Amino acid sequence: MVYLTRLEHFNAAHKLFNPAWSREKNEDVFGKCANDNWHGHNYELYVTVKGEPNPDTGFLFDVKRLSAIIKEHVTEQLDHKNLNLDVEFMKDKMCSTENLAIAIWQQLLPHIPPEITLHAVKLYETPRIYVEYFGL
Amino acid sequence: MVYLTRLEHFNAAHKLFNPAWSREKNEDVFGKCANDNWHGHNYELYVTVKGEPNPDTGFLFDVKRLSAIIKEHVTEQLDHKNLNLDVEFMKDKMCSTENLAIAIWQQLLPHIPPEITLHAVKLYETPRIYVEYFGL
Amino acid sequence: MVYLTRLEHFNAAHKLFNPAWSREKNEDVFGKCANDNWHGHNYELYVTVKGEPNPDTGFLFDVKRLSAIIKEHVTEQLDHKNLNLDVEFMKDKMCSTENLAIAIWQQLLPHIPPEITLHAVKLYETPRIYVEYFGL
Amino acid sequence: MVYLTRLEHFNAAHKLFNPAWSREKNEDVFGKCANDNWHGHNYELYVTVKGEPNPDTGFLFDVKRLSAIIKEHVTEQLDHKNLNLDVEFMKDKMCSTENLAIAIWQQLLPHIPPEITLHAVKLYETPRIYVEYFGL
Amino acid sequence: MVYLTRLEHFNAAHKLFNPAWSREKNEDVFGKCANDNWHGHNYELYVTVKGEPNPDTGFLFDVKRLSAIIKEHVTEQLDHKNLNLDVEFMKDKMCSTENLAIAIWQQLLPHIPPEITLHAVKLYETPRIYVEYFGL
Amino acid sequence: MVYLTRLEHFNAAHKLFNPAWSREKNEDVFGKCANDNWHGHNYELYVTVKGEPNPDTGFLFDVKRLSAIIKEHVTEQLDHKNLNLDVEFMKDKMCSTENLAIAIWQQLLPHIPPEITLHAVKLYETPRIYVEYFGL
């Protein structure tokens, strides 16, 4: 079994804000991430799939097709968007990197072909902070 | 003469939008950068100063003081902010990387001590796009 | 379960030297890493914790608190220090990257809150050499 | 148990081409990677070994020896070579990153000393595509 | 005046070989870069233009248009190609990074719009070797 | 005229300390960089030369020879050393990155062949701090 990883990017705005809480409590918990007028990031997304290479191609999976699946179901829906306002699959969720990584997994899973298995989603919010989700 | 460069970061939301134009023209010119609900970036800011090293310290300038000047006058005013709405020194300007780099130079210039000269501001919007300004 | 990773830095001096051995044997085994007058590195430290995101915040754990724990118990005790001479928790240990990674794990473990689990310490000595420790 | 990783490099030419297929089918499946006159990459190779540190040295394994093993059995045989034409251990294999990572594992395995265990081979073809193999 | 830089990539095969010389002399001068069966690289290309920002857009130049110009006239002609055999504008030239950077400048220059000036081409052959050309 | 740059590395210990000053004043000026027991860095050194490519080779200069010159006259004298104690050409100098960059220029200059010109020395002390010297 081999593991194949593809890196994709998106740039987005968001804020961390729990509407059940007062502004004071939000600022207390989320600090400047609760800024009412949003902030944003260059997100870097690593998607890993695993399985057996195909003997005819030597490929586990055509990385161009993997890239196309990630773009269609994830990054084109997130790039140059407001994660809290514009993204159907983040509606009614706290917009943390943790929840975003889990939602990206759920977006990808139905579109991964049967010959491979989705193994990991790794999402950098900044070069110094990242979250990984393995579906478990 | 030696040149000393310090890297600082900030994360911010913005959009590209000319209020004198229709929404259609804005989308035509700026594409998804005109998204009404904003998007954002992890900006990387390199500030370069030049001059003669001090013989007692070997320093052109104490890099911790340079970092403190950049933080006070630039990055603390930009980090986790909306560049179009929250930043006094970007008011009434198109919020392009070009204009942001020039504005950062203008913010820094009055606070650079006389023994050194501000040489360059280099601002990455993404790992693949950056702007430089030399004050000329 | 999600995994959250934070990157911190420290710069330190050290040498590799077994006091039970002759200088010749030390140079034989450790080469220029045994230089009597020390050498040093910019260490990069990745700390990974795991657990369930909190539904109120979307956070596995507040990354600013994680950073503060790493700084208090690890990097402030290592940064701009001599790892062989100045660091209580490295006393009487060979100062290899392997032993340093294990010692960092042991420093962190008592300070990780019960709602999360320490998963990994990954320590780069140079951009081409790193050690990982998972506590097992 | 600790894990030690070493990064090595090699630059090579290759193409993706299945000789059992027509040129049309090769171009259909492999696109520009099937270019008859080859293309190439700067490959980055991470090799990870695991085991217990030696109490006398603090080392899991001398990273210079690990580097020498990788160079002798892998990178000196691949660097500035044509992977399809010049490399004995890639003969009669589809020259994908997946197959190359597996072949590198097989090249290394007989030369890993008994006190350590080969854990992973991670091979970047470009900064955005990598393959991992764990021997399983 | 501001400077705007865009990074593009291409992967290509080449060799260094002077047909006026014997194989021995080529190997003497170019070492393993003269390998008859080619080798290759992931090239990284930085193109810098300079000028005055447009007051209506804040842009020196639309970076998407700059990217399109680079792709059409340079990277689509180089990517997944053999630089010695497949590239019209490298015919009859020694295929060094120096000559490639100069040829890229010459390819771009006629397609740079009059409102901006081509300032620099910076070409990485590996992460440790790059060439710059300023047209002078 | 083209510019060719080569990156080399060295790891070293140092401290910032002016022997004409009291310990208090040193700590006041240099902070933790004055730690009596030293600290250290992974330095990254970019050396740029300029000139005309040779028509027979396409090279401005053989980058392997440039690397060998840098290694012989600079990095082999600095790597795994104490910059204050072990390095002849830093004796009696404040061991700042500024002074180290200037000293590296002076070490290299007599060994640059007449057909090329030394253009720049760029020295990273950490990924966020670098100094450039152009000999002027």
F71: three-class secondary structure by DSSP: helix
Interface residues of chain A, partner chain D, Cβ below 8 Å? 1-8, 48, 53, 55-60, 62-64
Which is the catalytic residue, given D27, D33, D41, D119? D33
Interface contact flag, E80 D33, Cβ < 8 Å: yes
Phi/psi at D43 (5° precision): -80, 140
Chain C neighbours (≥3 Cβ pairs under 8 A) are A, D, F
D7, E37 in Cβ contact below 8 A? Answer: no
E–A contact: 3+ Cβ pairs < 8 A: no
Interface contact flag, F5 E132, Cβ < 8 Å: yes
Q: Give the span between the Cα atoms of E107 and A104, in whole angstroms.
A: 41
The pTM assigned to this predicted structure is: 0.97
Beta strands F129-133 and B2-14, pairing class = antiparallel
Select the more confidently predicted residue: E109 or B136: E109
Identity of the amino acid at B75 = T
Mutate to test the interface with F, among C37, C78, C87, C130 (most CBs of F within 10 A): C37
- Which of A31, A93, A98 is opposite residue C2, by nearest beta carbon? A98
Q: Give the span between the Cα atoms of A14 and A31, in whole angstroms.
A: 14
* H helices, E strands: number in chain F: 4, 5
Q: Give the span between the Cα atoms of B14 and A61, in whole angstroms.
A: 37
C131, D4 in Cβ contact below 8 A? Answer: yes
E16-24 contacts, C-beta under 8 A, 24 or more apart:
E16/E94, E16/E95, E16/E96, E16/F57, E16/F58, E17/E84, E18/E94, E18/F56, E18/F57, E20/F56, E21/F56
Average pLDDT, chain D: 98
Tokens of A71: 């773009």
Interface contact flag, B16 E57, Cβ < 8 Å: yes
Residues of F28-60 as b/e, b for ≥16 C-beta within 10 angstroms? ebbeebbbebbbbbbbbbbbbbbbebbeebbbb
CB-CB neighbors (< 8 A) of D5 in chain C: 129-132
Beta strands F2-14 and F81-82, pairing class = parallel
C50: three-class secondary structure by DSSP: strand
Chains C & D: contacts with CB separation below 8 Å: 57
Q: Give the span between the Cα atoms of C66 and C119, in whole angstroms.
A: 13
Any bridge partners for residue E35, and if so which? Answer: none
Tokens of D16: 């993706």
Q: Find all residues with CB under 8 Å of D130, minimum gap 6, and list them.
A: A4, A5, D97, D122, D123, D124
Q: Give the span between the Cα atoms of D109 and E21, in whole angstroms.
A: 42
* Catalytic residue flag (residue C33): yes
F5, C29 in Cβ contact below 8 A? Answer: no
HEC profile of B53-119:
CCCCCCCCCCHHHHHHHHHHHHHHHHCCEECCCCCHHHCCCCCCHHHHHHHHHHHHHHHCCCCCEEE
Could you read off the pLDDT of B53-72 as tens digits, one per residue? 999 999 999 999 999 999 99
Could you read off the pLDDT of E32-66 as tens digits, one per residue? 999 999 999 999 999 999 999 999 999 999 999 99
Q: Find all residues with CB under 8 Å of B53, minimum gap 6, and list them.
A: B2, B59, B60, F96, F98, F99, F102
Interface contact flag, A39 B80, Cβ < 8 Å: yes
Name the DSSP class of E61.
Answer: S
Taking the CA of residue E56 and the nearest CA in chain B, the distance in Å comes to 7
Q: Give the span between the Cα atoms of B125 and E6, in whole angstroms.
A: 11
Q: Give the span between the Cα atoms of A87 and A78, in whole angstroms.
A: 7
Q: What confidence score (pLDDT) does residue D5 get?
A: 98
Taking the CA of residue E54 and the nearest CA in chain F, the distance in Å comes to 31
- Which of A29, A129, A136 is opposite residue C63, by nearest beta carbon? A129
ipTM of this predicted complex?
Answer: 0.97
Q: What confidence score (pLDDT) does residue E5 get?
A: 98
Q: Which of C80, C71, C104, C108 lies closest to C14, judged by CA?
A: C80
- What is the average pLDDT across B28-48? 98
Residue of C nearest to A99 (CA): C58
CB-CB neighbors (< 8 A) of D7 in chain C: 127-129
Mutate to test the interface with C, among A28, A91, A96, A133 (most CBs of C within 10 A): A96
B16, B94 in Cβ contact below 8 A? Answer: yes
Residues in chain B, overall count? 136
Tokens of F32: 């933790």
CB-side neighbour CA atoms (13 Å) of F57 = 17
> Which parts of chain D register pLDDT below 70?
none
- Which of B3, B5, B59 is opposite residue F96, by nearest beta carbon? B59
Residues in chain A, overall count? 136
HEC profile of chain A:
CEEEEEEEEEEEEECCCCCCCCHHHHHHHHHHHHCCCCEEEEEEEEEEEEECCCCCCCCCCCHHHHHHHHHHHHHHHHCCEECCCCCHHHCCCCCCHHHHHHHHHHHHHHHCCCCCEEEEEEEEEECCEEEEECCC
Q: Give the span between the Cα atoms of B132 and B40, in whole angstroms.
A: 20
Dihedral sign, Cα of residue D77, residue D83, residue D86, residue D91:
positive
H or E segment at D67? Answer: helix D63-70
Name the DSSP class of C90.
Answer: G
Average pLDDT, chain E: 98
Dihedral sign, Cα of residue D13, residue D16, residue D21, residue D26:
negative
Chain A neighbours (≥3 Cβ pairs under 8 A) are B, C, D
Q: Give the span between the Cα atoms of E74 and E90, in whole angstroms.
A: 11
pLDDT > 70 fraction of chain C, expressed in percent and rounded: 100
User: Which single residue is written with the structure tokens 């300029």?
Assistant: F50
CB-CB neighbors (< 8 A) of D4 in chain C: 97-98, 129-131
Residue of E nearest to F63 (CA): E129
Taking the CA of residue E2 and the nearest CA in chain F, the distance in Å comes to 21
Tens of pLDDT along chain F (136 residues) come to: 999 999 999 999 999 999 999 999 999 999 999 999 999 999 999 999 999 999 999 999 999 999 999 999 999 999 999 999 999 999 999 999 999 999 999 999 999 999 999 999 999 999 999 999 999 9
Interface residues of chain E, partner chain F, Cβ below 8 Å? 16, 18, 20-21, 29-31, 93-99, 101-102, 127-134, 136
Q: Find all residues with CB under 8 Å of F40, minimum gap 6, and list them.
A: C11, C12, C13, C14, C38, C39, C40, C41, F11, F12, F13, F14
F34, F25 in Cβ contact below 8 A? Answer: no
What CATH class has D2-133? alpha beta
Chain E neighbours (≥3 Cβ pairs under 8 A) are B, D, F
Chains B & E: contacts with CB separation below 8 Å: 56
* Catalytic residue flag (residue C80): yes
CB-CB neighbors (< 8 A) of A60 in chain D: 98, 131
- Which of D6, D48, D53 is opposite residue C98, by nearest beta carbon? D53
Could you read off the pLDDT of E87-118 as tens digits, one per residue? 999 999 999 999 999 999 999 999 999 999 99
- Which of E3, E8, E57 is opposite residue B132, by nearest beta carbon? E3
* Catalytic residue flag (residue F14): no
Interface contact flag, B131 E4, Cβ < 8 Å: yes
**Residue B10: pLDDT band with limits 50, 70, 90:** very high
Residues of E67-92 as b/e, b for ≥16 C-beta within 10 angstroms? bebbeebbbebbbbbbbbbbbeebee
Chain B neighbours (≥3 Cβ pairs under 8 A) are A, E, F
Interface contact flag, D98 A63, Cβ < 8 Å: no
Q: Give the span between the Cα atoms of D38 and D49, in whole angstroms.
A: 33
Q: Find all residues with CB under 8 Å of F49, minimum gap 6, and list them.
A: F3, F4, F60, F61, F66, F112, F116, F117, F118, F119
pLDDT > 90 fraction of chain E, expressed in percent and rounded: 99
Q: Give the span between the Cα atoms of D41 and D29, in whole angstroms.
A: 20
Q: CB neighbours (10 Å) of residue C54? A: 15
Mutate to test the interface with D, among A59, A60, A64, A67 (most CBs of D within 10 A): A59
Q: What confidence score (pLDDT) does residue C46 get?
A: 98
F118, F109 in Cβ contact below 8 A? Answer: yes
CB-CB neighbors (< 8 A) of D131 in chain A: 2-5, 60
